Amino acid sequence: MSRSCRSYLLWFAQEHTEFRFAEIKSLLSLFKIEMRFIKQPKDIEPYWLVEFNSENDVKLLASRSVSLKNCMELWAHGKTVSELHRKMKEYPMHLIKHYFEPSKSFKIEVETFCKHVSQQEKVSKIEAFSYLPMCGRVDLKQPDVKMQYIEYYGIEANNPPEEPYDVFFGRWVTSGLRQLIKKLSLKTRKFIGNTSMDPQLSLLMANQAKITEGDIVLDPFVGSGSLLVAAAQFGGYVLGTDIDYLMLHGRTRPTRIKQTIREKDESVKANMEQYDLSHRYLDVLVNDFSASFWRNDFKFDAIITDPPYGIREATEKIGTLKKNYKVKEEHLPTHIPAKIDYGISNIYGDLLLFAAKHLKIGGCVVCWFPVFREDYNEKCLPSHPCFTLTANSEQGLSKVTSRRLLTFEKIREPTVEEMQQYTCNISDFREKYYEAREESRTERRLRESKIRQDNREKHELSKSLT
């Protein structure tokens, strides 16, 4: 194996596994990093075996990834413990001898994935590496060199095999950005709403949008601003709009169970201040997205958003069904505009049309899209000729519904005809959702009625027998 291209083990967290490919692919593109698979990974496995041209590339990738737990320079890999030790003994020592110099402290960590072992067993596994020329002192807190020994027992924690499926050994290189998920936890955030986005998903969206230092980022359905926090964390200058005046002014009903009234300073801006991101905050504006007010030549670097589906949040736009409706001049100062339904097909059509006009070439739109699993295929997704779909990952919501995280990359500017004639024809998730829920209620009533009838018959039969 050439030393100019080294082997590495990428070890991932086992949550939101569907999104790790999209996140890593986006970061490789953002940083222009070349990565090659040694072995094609499986979705269920928490590790990838890969090659990078330099260790700096590994560290750069990990510095932004929230899916990645840690990275290890791989020295040996085997299907059995004995095979791993045989390969480690054959490894060219002159390539790694500088890690075993007397002046360098070290430690060996043992991890057994999906199987618990005692501390004594861990010590025994460490002692099995006594053939390595380790001359420095042991330092369990801050070693100069940290080595890792990992045994992988599959993903069924309740029924692990006697022997591991894979065994790995090598030098720890760096950790991912997992600590940021805890820092941005909704439990400690100043201002949240009913649909505030989970921090990990928010950060994944920001990574898939390839947000970098100095980017101008928009969330047109901003809500409580979770996506703005994530975008600002990676260097974006953030803007948000929303039609919900009360939400943007922190006057909606509190989301937290024990909170009866919102505090006076609850706002999207307060969240930015909480995380020392005020310098990244441009503004949030009360705006009907169907009536854009931006200058024609204004461009964003990225758009990340979670449009409403009409289930937990209303899908509304300014308008009235009354004909020739006009507000009297004396009522204008206190007039609250009427709202009408803003269908999902119109929402996503307007989103892609807006992005075609106001997004830079190479910029990304990252958004959630709700689907019924049984009806799903890529033809039911929104599309536009100025964009290519670069990522499409699923998060299950129930047995029958899910939402897809879509990433669209702009490849060209729209023509005049595309701006004037574009339509987005997709099915209305909300209508089918309520139909399915009503069918489910009917089925439940019939099932409960049958159970009651069966119980009555059993009771009558029991009485007749006695």
In the three-class reduction of DSSP (H, G, I as helix; E, B as strand; rest coil), residue 36 is classed as strand
Length of the chain counted residue by residue: 466
Task: Write the CB contacts of 215 (distance below 8 Å, at least 6 apart in sequence).
Answer: 231, 235, 236, 237, 301, 302
CA–CA distance, 172 with 188 (Å, rounded to integer): 32
* pLDDT reported for residue 283: 97
Q: Is the pLDDT confidence value at 339 over 60? A: yes
CA–CA distance, 409 with 251 (Å, rounded to integer): 36
* pLDDT reported for residue 424: 83
Q: Which of 101, 301, 287 is nearest to 211 (CA)?
A: 301
Given phi > 0 = left and psi -120 to 50 = alpha, else beta, which region is 143? beta
* pLDDT reported for residue 448: 66
CA terminus-to-terminus distance, the chain: 84
DSSP 414: P
The CA distances from residue 225 to 112, 158, 190, 218, 415, in Å, are: 39, 40, 11, 11, 33
* pLDDT reported for residue 466: 61
Instruction: Report pLDDT digits (tens) over 192-216.
Output: 998 899 999 999 999 999 999 999 9
Instruction: Report pLDDT digits (tens) over 341-393.
Output: 898 889 999 999 999 999 999 999 999 999 988 888 888 899 999 999 999 99
pTM of the model as a whole? 0.90
pLDDT, greater one: 18 or 434: 18
CA–CA distance, 405 with 162 (Å, rounded to integer): 38
Backbone dihedral angles phi then psi of residue 450, each to the nearest 5 degrees: -65, -40
397: Cα separation from own chain's centroid? 14
One-letter amino acid at 387 equals F
The CA distances from residue 168 to 62, 69, 113, 150, 172, in Å, are: 19, 16, 11, 5, 12
Domains of the chain from N-terminus onward: 6-177 (3.30.2130.30), 184-432 (3.40.50.150)
CA Rg value for the chain: 28
β-pairing verdict for 216-219 and 401-410 = unpaired
Burial class (CB in 10 A: 0-12, 13-18, 19+), 429: buried
Q: Is residue 226 a contact partner of residue 197, using CB atoms and an 8 Å limit?
A: yes
Listing from the earlier edge strand, what are the strands of the sheet with 387-396?
281-286, 237-242, 216-219, 300-305, 359-372, 401-410, 387-396
Q: Which residue is it, tokens 């990225």? A: 302
β-pairing verdict for 47-52 and 300-305 = unpaired
Mean pLDDT of all residues in 93-98? 92
Q: Which residue is it, tokens 């919102």? A: 262
The CA distances from residue 406 to 31, 52, 425, in Å, are: 21, 28, 17
Q: Is residue 229 a contact partner of residue 236, using CB atoms and an 8 Å limit?
A: no
One-letter amino acid at 27 equals L
Q: Residue 31: pLDDT band by 50, 70, 90 thresholds?
A: very high
Instruction: Report pLDDT digits (tens) over 304-333.
Output: 999 998 777 778 888 888 887 888 888 778
* pLDDT reported for residue 310: 76
Instruction: Report pLDDT digits (tens) over 105-163.
Output: 999 999 999 999 999 999 999 999 999 999 999 999 999 999 999 999 999 888 899 99
β-pairing verdict for 6-12 and 35-39 = unpaired
